[in-house]
Structure 1
Amino acid sequence: MNLSEQILLIKELFAAGGIVMPPLVLCILLLWYGLGYRFWVMKEPKLMGVRDMLKYYQAHGDKPARNIVARAVKQGLELKRRGVKNLRRHLDAAFYDYEREIGKFSVLVRVVILISPLLGLLGTVMGMIETFDSLATMTLFSQSGGIAGGISQALFTTQMGLTVAIPGLLAHSILNRKQNQIVQDLAQVKDLLCHQTDSHYLTKSNS
């Protein structure tokens, strides 16, 4: 398919969806940009538990951190090594950037998922209005499409709205579960660093 054919196909899609197609396309771009960013931030898997991670990075502080929790562990161990006062407050401040990073674009994605079916419904209503107008005037074909064009627009925009929302909802749910797990891991790192001595959590890790 050459460029001219692709442009023609895009024009046909916009014509089939009517006035709601530009905002639907914008929703698609925003949705997958937000999901792509969130996936990229949280893509690295956690290969060991928090306790094992604390033990590992205390013994191998020069090893690179491969995910958000590992970076937080290294930063927390450095703060504890320096013997800062009010360690919990410093950890909260240091980990806030991680929590904000993994939550970035979450609200945008949720809003797009909610708006997309409504835009599809709006297109459906507009298509049905055109259909009934054509029936009232007995116009099978008109500049705007007539009865066939109205029904086509009604079905196409509904399909587009659901096509945006359903995959987005599934991906958003998966990423939210991963975000919640990371938040729990960060909270566990804080608790272990603040309430247990090094020898205590190392002993628990070996047991």
Structure 2
Amino acid sequence: MMDALIAGGWLMIPLLGCSLLATVIIIERLWTLRAKRIAPYGLGQEVCSLVARGQVNLYWLEGHSPLGGVLAAGLRNARLGHEQVRARLQEAATAVIHDMERFLSPLGTIAAITPLIGLLGTVVGMIEVFAVIVSADGVGRTAELAGGISRALVTTAAGLTVAIPALMFHRYFQRRVEEITVRMEEQASQVVEFLAHYRGEIGFNEQREGERPGAEARPS
């Protein structure tokens, strides 16, 4: 490995930096973009049931998950009308989607620029090779010729080695964000439709104590 880094020359330094950054982003996004953490199944139905019983603890709901925060934003404006609920849900969902897409742009940039860095190394290596060839004793300077060719090949291979997995994970994370967004929309729509047809008084428990909604909730 060290021999490859030395053979690739100074252009291996930015490639190594891109590789480390891409690895950190991939690990962080794999941990963060878990569907059950962001939009757990059944939360929309549970919220509808709690609304019907007047036992919605908004502080618990906001801390439950990002989807819970979205639903809580809508419920806080439930008395202002159907359109206000939708608007607040949309605003909160936009913020969650923005958080899910965090670091995807740098990962895509790494996937795009590392092959170019490798190509630059190829060009630099070939320039060195031709510079040796055109010199007076170029044919006999095999070590320098081999060094230039090695740099051309090593940097190209290193650039592709970093770019290919970065591109694959970038596409994978984009798809995962889309799937989680659809799940959030489905559950948010479920709550919106329930509120549109609900004829009872909506009561909230906004006490911070406790992690679950309590039966002592009173309409506010």
TM-score bracket, normalised by the shorter chain, equals 0.7 to 0.9
Structure with more contact order per residue of length (Cα contacts < 8 Å, sep ≥ 6): 2
Contact 1:140 1:148 (C-alpha < 8 Å) held by counterparts: no
SS of the residue corresponding to residue 93 of structure 1 reads: helix
* Structure-2 change in CA distance of 1:82 and 1:73 (3 Å): same
Per the TM alignment, residue 199 of structure 1 is displaced from its structure 2 partner at its CA by: 7.2
Q: What is the RMSD computed on CA atoms of the aligned residues?
A: 3.2
1:151 positional shift: 0.7
- Residues in 2 aligned to 1:140 and 1:40: alpha-carbon distance in whole angstroms: 55
Change (3 A) 1:104 1:84: farther
CA contact (8 A) 2:77 2:85 kept: no
Match among 16, 19, 24 for residue 25 of structure 1: 16
Deviation string 1:148-189 (CA, Å, 9 cap, x unpaired) is 001111110010000001111111221111111112222223
The partner residue of 2:167 within 145, 166, 169 is 169
Give the equivalent residue in structure 2 for 1:103. 101
Equivalent-residue separation in structure 1 for 2:45 and 2:69 (angstroms): 11
Q: Gaps spanning 5+ residues in structure 1: where? A: 1-8, 201-207
- What's 1:43 paired with? 34
Identity %: 27
Quote how far apart the aligned CAs of 1:91 are: 1.2
- 1:83 pairs with 2:81: no
TM-score by length of 2: 0.70
Match of 2:45 among 47, 50, 55: 55
The TM-score normalised by the length of structure 1 is: 0.74
Is residue 2:128 matched to residue 1:130? yes
The one-letter code matched in structure 2 to 1:42 is L
Partner of 2:134, secondary structure, is helix
How many aligned residue pairs are there? Answer: 185
Asked if 1:189 corresponds to 2:179, the answer is: no
Give ranges in structure 2 of 5+ residues lacking alignment.
Answer: 51-55, 199-220
